[in-house]
Structure 1
Amino acid sequence: MSSNQHSPPRGASATYEIVFDGGALGNPGKGYGSYIVSHGGADIQHMRHEYGDNVTNNQAEYQTLIEALAWLASKLGSTASETSVHVNGDSQLVLNQLMGRWKVKNQGLRPLHHKAIGLIRQFRDVSLVWHSRDHSMRRLGH
């Protein structure tokens, strides 16, 4: 796990951006993921995680988003409920499942989906936006 972080600004008008990406070498295989949390154009947290063996790409995507949302919620504390978050990722499956457009059919993803929804509900509002794989590679380096 590697990290580069600063304290997030607080306040009712705060808006944050999360860019996340996860994957697995082998699918399933060694899982990994990284995310950046930014505010006002400045990165305040950049983290990379390793999730061990026998992890699927989709599990790593969910786990990485969960890590990012949990970090931001813990740093904001009670002001999380006053905060907007723009989430950007390249996983159509994760984003569409979280928006309720697609069902969560895979049993292994259901607990991760449930946990992500619980974290999303801690914020005032969360927008979920798909971006290209190239954007993830430019922002996160993988």
Structure 2
Amino acid sequence: MYVEIAEEDSHENNLWKLNFDGASNAMGNGIGAVLVSPNGDYYPFTSKLDFDCTNNMAEYEACIMGTRAATERKIKILEVYGDSTLVIYQLRGEWETRDPKLIRYRKLVLELIEEFDSVTFCYLPRDENQMANALATLASMIKVNKSEDMKPIQISIYEASAPCYSIEEEENDDHPWYQDIL
């Protein structure tokens, strides 16, 4: 997992947001999480799960990865958003957790959140959880060599197409192209 070095001012008293998502498909299993700082900076995390799991287990794994990243940053106030109704309502205590595998996951999340002054769990529709979903899907589909170190993904925003950046300033020529014809 890649965690960017914590800033000196970790905004201990400010609200951070965490979006998480898990993906389990024929290609594999992956998780994604995004921490959003009070000033709107995004800190994405993603991991490939190299073990068999259900989609609900992947959702919990993603929540745990993001929660651990938040505790490493010494964040104290956190809003957690996920698009798994089951996981969110189980963590809120509104739905019973019956699956023995999920009971252990829920217990771990509840232990981790003891580090925070305030944590809330909120359901987020899938179409509003796009970045975490994309990270989870990417991790589930990519083949990773365990012996190689994977560098973090850098996401940039280009405001113009590549050809626009390669236009060179025209040289000032005292002789226009048509002068040789005359």
Contact preservation (8 Å) 1:36, 1:140 = no
Separation in 1, partners of 2:68, 2:131 = 24
Shift of the 138–73 alpha-carbon distance from structure 1 to 2, 3 Å rule, reads closer
The alpha-carbon deviation at position 6 of structure 1 amounts to: 4.9
Q: Give ranges in structure 2 of 5+ residues lacking alignment.
A: 138-182
Paired AA for residue 52 in structure 1: D
Q: Which residue of 2 aligns with 1:130?
A: 123
Q: Measure the CA separation in 2 of the matches of 1:139 and 1:17.
A: 12
CA contact (8 A) 1:30 1:55 kept: no
Question: What amino acid sits opposite 1:69 in the alignment?
Answer: T
More strand per residue: 1
> 1:55 corresponds to which letter in structure 2?
C
| Corresponding residue to 1:56 among 40, 50, 54 | 54
Using the alignment, how far apart are the partners of 2:97 and 2:29 within structure 1?
20
Deviations 1:25-81 (A, max 9, x none): 04xx722110000112111x21111112421000000011101111111221xxx4x
Aligned to 1:97, which of 90, 94, 98?
A: 90
Counterpart AA for 1:60: A
Q: 2:79–2:121: 8 Å Cα contact kept in structure 1?
A: yes
Instruction: Measure the CA separation in 2 of the matches of 1:114 and 1:57.
Output: 18
Q: Considering only aligned residues, what root-mean-square deviation do their CA atoms show, in Å?
A: 1.9
Unaligned runs of 5+ in 1: none
Q: Between the two proteins, what is the percent identity of the paired residues?
A: 22
**Stretches of 4+ aligned residues off by more than 4 angstroms:** none
Task: Return the alpha-carbon distance in structure 2 between the equivalents of residues 68 and 11 of structure 1.
Answer: 17
* Higher Rg of the two aligned structures: 2
The answer to whether the Cα contact below 8 Å between 1:32 and 1:60 also exists between their aligned partners in 2 is yes
Structure-2 separation of matches of 1:53 and 1:139:
20
Give distance in 2, aligned partners of 1:138 and 1:16: 16
Q: What residue is the counterpart of 1:20 in the other structure?
A: 20
**Match 1:72 to one of 45, 70, 73:** 70
Residues 34 and 131 of structure 2 are in contact (CA less than 8 Å); yes or no, is this contact kept in structure 1? no
Paired with 1:61 and 1:97, the residues of 2 have a C-alpha distance of: 12
Q: For residue 79 of structure 2, give the secondary structure of its aligned residue in structure 1.
A: strand
Q: Does the residue aligned with 1:88 lie in a helix, a strand or coil?
A: strand
| TM-score, length of structure 1 as denominator length | 0.84
- Asked whether the 8 Å contact 2:12–2:77 carries over to 1, the reply is no
